[in-house]
Structure 1
Amino acid sequence: MMFRPISVNLETVDGYLQQNNYSALELYLKTEFRLEKDETGVPLKIEFSTKAVDLLHQILKTIAQQNLTKNHEGIIKELFRSLRNYVINPDVQTYIVNDEFFLLNVVSFMNLQSEIIQNAFQIILQFLFNLIISNKSAVDKVYDVFYPTILTFLKDNKYVYESSALLYNMSLYKDLNLDCGIYNCLLELYDSHNSVEYLYFMLEKLISDGNFWKCYKKFDINKRAAVLGVIRDKQIKGEAIKIPIIGLKVLINQFVTSGKIIFQTVGTKDSRLEAYEISQLAQVISSYCSNEDYLKVLQSDKDLLINSGVLLINIHRLGKESENCFTSIQNLSEIREPNKNIQKHPAFGFKADLIRIIGNLCWKNKIMQDLTREAELIPVILDCCNMDARNPFIMQWVILAVRNLCENNLENQKIIAELHQQGTVSSSVLQELGITLESDGDKSIKIVSLETLRSQK
């Protein structure tokens, strides 16, 4: 690995300090501790020198003892820029961490009541961030000295990027012992600073922590939606977050106890945020139902299947009673590309998610298979086997559900075998294609051209 050599002159620096020649000292540091890049654009690490680190430490201690004025602002910023550049060298990190007083002097410096120093806080935090990268010893030291300061910055909505970057990187090596107040604060910051990737990374990490889920119900609806949004985002990318069992049970309980809220969206244009939460919960749970790591836990919860079944029966019935957000849309153009307003509604995909939950709960599980039959859900599931712009892939989920219901279950196979045809259903999709279905009075159904039917009449 290439290192850029460094040469420092203590006498020169002492002379600048004694003369209060901060402009010259600032230029000196900028020259000596500048970052250079190799041919590929990667920053070169500056060669480690105890003399160089001690020099920077001496400047820090000297300035901390002076009455700070506007003239100090440039040198203070340049001092911490130099430290920020220097500590990408692991040997420099180790030397600073092993110095008993270095970081204590930095925090004492930050505690000075001066606007001049406060203007340098962002660069100081960047220095600390570079200090702890891939260095557990540095993490422990920075945690001991700066952790309360970092939390204060986050609570005060200051230096959010740098503070969240520090917090996340510390969490990779250390249990931060966060409480509900800090969880709430981080969720609030994520809502207002969702472009800060470290808040997203931090939230991912929290979702995997059992203690986090003890606070979930205490969060307001916006914050719960943010949590579900992160989980769902990862599921869509095929990178499902491994939540603890306590987290999964919290989500199931929230869904089971609040599922009826979805009915409040019938006939209304402005849907309540709670309904979107239920919709997200259905998406999240249905996805976890496809994960064998969680399936046994889910299959042990009869309330989840019963609640999903009751919701399915009722929304299917409501969709047939009148034109509303649960009514199937079989217009071919809408199936190809559903209207954006339809996609934004909380009922979008909800029926398909319920069938996916029920079908997966029945996978190789006779108790759930029998419970589905006893709840008279099989005819309802079969009746949902139609193309529907409001529920993409619903036919595929119905087919999978039927397959799982019938596997090694003669009673369920018999129920389906005994179902009788009651004529054919007119489909707008088929009509758009210029065809329809016609029964010959027996069990046979034929595809007939509409023009042929008209000519016969």
Structure 2
Amino acid sequence: MSRHLDLNVALVDKYLKTYDYPSLANYLNISFKLEKGSDGIPLQFDFSDTVLNSLHKILLQIINEEISENHQNILKELFRSLRNYVINIDVQKYLSNDSFLNNVKIICESSLVTNDILQVVLQFLINLVVSNEIAAKKVYAVFQNQIFGSLKQNVNTYENSALLYNISLHHAIELDFDMYVCILQLYDNRNNIEFLHFLIEKFITYDNFWTNYKKIDLHRRLVVLGVIREKQIKGEKLDLCDYALQTLSNSFINSASIIFQTVSSNENDLEPYEVSELLQVISSLSSDDSYLKKLQNDKDLLINVGVVLINIHKLGKDTENYFSSIQSLSEVRQPTQQMSKHPAFGFKADLIRIIGNLCWKNRTMQDLVREAELIPVVLECCNMDARNPFIMQWGILAVRNLCENNLENQKIIAGLHQEGTVSSTVLEEMGLTLHSSGDENGVKIVPLDALRNHR
């Protein structure tokens, strides 16, 4: 639905000739006040080139007079009028011309234009570029320096980030290193601005962003990984380029050993948490068909994951530490807060998950796991562990993927023999235990009290 715009152009000209800007501002305020339909959506004004030319005439007169404090109120009402008018798509097209945009730029560059006026100008530009690819490209070409400068000064950050994001929907906005860091910093400090979040989601799809990723400081890298993890947890689509995938993999490979710093303490340094976040991101990506085949070409990733798994598993068995398994039924059901906040929480499960996924229908990876002597370690991890939720399920899936159409791996598992029984804290809490009778019947689950009475 639309509504007729009854603007008296002759009256506007009279106010301009007499420099009666207060009356003109009041008239524009009344004429362009939005009304909503029964559905709550603002009604569009009918298109009129005569009206648009009249509004442009007001802008030109102000520019020719040299902007002063006397123009502040009329400028604010002029751009409010344009903001409300430009929701009409024909108005968008009409105003998407270089002459008009360059005159708006003159206003933005004036030192006498206040931030509240600039805020309304930005709101107008946002409405101009919405669903308008041509306008988005032109606005970016004309105003990118103003947008970047304002963001660096943290001025009108909501409007500038909203404008930049809406432009990015139609036009790639590859930034330099400093600008990427600026937006990450703004998001970290003021993450209540949703458009900063949307911009980071957009950036992670750019090759150019990932060429700068390694230069970004650790804290900001964690911000990026956090945004990726949030999308993964929500099940939202990620459009990571091949270079992004390789960068994430290399970052983990080069820093994975840092996790061993936390073997006996709840390390407060951010580096172990980055390693943990990287692993979570990669393990989740390995469950996505669009990334799995690319990851299955990365032998270095599998080898390094395997080395880390072997060492973590060995450290956890040698002494009681943050890598040791916890099979207490109460803690399996509800891990302690201290446990769940440790960077190694879930780490071993994610390693197993990656190994299993990389071996899915891939003979090269299956054979590499066998050659690296990882199969026994994977089998030993098929137990409940409060420090690694779902590790048993990921372990079983890994064994299945390792054995599928691979007789050599099947023979390795078939050749393993029982070396006694292992005490199970979970079973003991349930009043049960594992018992080997030494005969061909193998291991049985028996009531713990019955076994004690028998002895």
For the criterion TM > 0.5, the same-fold answer is yes
Which of 135, 155, 166 is the equivalent residue of 2:132? Answer: 135
Deviations 1:178-205 (A, max 9, x none): 2222222222222222222222222122
- In 1: Cα distance, 2:223 partner to 2:44 partner: 39
Which of 104, 107, 113 is the equivalent residue of 1:106? Answer: 104
- In 1: Cα distance, 2:102 partner to 2:67 partner: 19
Deviations 1:221-275 (A, max 9, x none): 1121112112211111222412111111111111111100000112223332111
Partner of 1:59: 58
Matches within 5 A, 1:29-428: 29-66=28-65, 70-98=69-97, 100-114=98-112, 116-428=113-425
Counterpart of 1:112, as a letter, is S
Distance 1:271 1:265, change over 3 A: farther
Cα displacement (A) at 1:83: 0.8
For normalisation by structure 2, the TM-score amounts to 0.95
Counterpart of 1:318, as a letter, is L
Would you say the 8 A contact 1:271–1:346 is kept in 2?
Answer: no
Please list every run of 5 or more consecutive structure 1 residues that lacks an aligned counterpart in the other structure.
none
Please list every run of 5 or more consecutive structure 2 residues that lacks an aligned counterpart in the other structure.
none
Partner of 1:446: 444
Would you say the 8 A contact 2:115–2:156 is kept in 1?
Answer: no
- In 2: Cα distance, 1:24 partner to 1:192 partner: 42
Partner of 2:2: 3
Q: Secondary structure at the match of 1:62?
A: helix
Would you say the 8 A contact 2:115–2:155 is kept in 1?
Answer: no
Would you say the 8 A contact 1:110–1:118 is kept in 2?
Answer: no
Cα displacement (A) at 1:107: 0.9
Cα displacement (A) at 1:220: 0.7
For normalisation by structure 1, the TM-score amounts to 0.95
Deviations 1:375-422 (A, max 9, x none): 111111111111111111101110011011111111211111111112
Q: Secondary structure at the match of 2:418?
A: coil
- In 2: Cα distance, 1:359 partner to 1:123 partner: 54
Distance 1:258 1:34, change over 3 A: same
Matches within 5 A, 1:430-445: 430-442=427-439, 443-445=441-443
Deviations 1:149-186 (A, max 9, x none): 11111222222111111112212222334222222222
Q: Secondary structure at the match of 2:214?
A: helix
Tell me the percent identity: 57
Would you say the 8 A contact 2:174–2:206 is kept in 1?
Answer: no
Deviations 1:84-119 (A, max 9, x none): 111000111111124x522211111222221x4443
Q: Secondary structure at the match of 2:433?
A: strand
Would you say the 8 A contact 2:276–2:347 is kept in 1?
Answer: yes
- In 2: Cα distance, 1:239 partner to 1:67 partner: 50
Would you say the 8 A contact 2:67–2:110 is kept in 1?
Answer: no
Counterpart of 2:305, as a letter, is S
Deviations 1:24-57 (A, max 9, x none): 3222111110111110101111111122212222
Cα displacement (A) at 1:19: 4.4
Cα displacement (A) at 1:67: 6.1
- In 2: Cα distance, 1:416 partner to 1:270 partner: 37
Would you say the 8 A contact 1:8–1:51 is kept in 2?
Answer: no
Counterpart of 1:448, as a letter, is V
- In 1: Cα distance, 2:350 partner to 2:433 partner: 29
Question: Which segment is superposed worse, 9-18 or 282-291?
Answer: 9-18
Deviations 1:433-453 (A, max 9, x none): 111111111352222122223
Would you say the 8 A contact 1:80–1:123 is kept in 2?
Answer: yes
Aligned length: 454
Question: Which segment is superposed worse, 54-63 or 229-238?
Answer: 54-63
Question: Which segment is superposed worse, 362-371 or 386-395?
Answer: 362-371
Counterpart of 2:93, as a letter, is T
Counterpart of 2:87, as a letter, is I
Counterpart of 2:121, as a letter, is I
Would you say the 8 A contact 2:261–2:267 is kept in 1?
Answer: no
Counterpart of 2:199, as a letter, is M
Question: Which segment is superposed worse, 223-232 or 350-359?
Answer: 223-232
Cα displacement (A) at 1:135: 0.9
Counterpart of 2:187, as a letter, is Y
- In 1: Cα distance, 2:320 partner to 2:25 partner: 73
Counterpart of 1:319, as a letter, is G
Would you say the 8 A contact 1:352–1:392 is kept in 2?
Answer: yes
- In 2: Cα distance, 1:324 partner to 1:256 partner: 23
Deviations 1:270-309 (A, max 9, x none): 3321111111111111122222322232222221111111
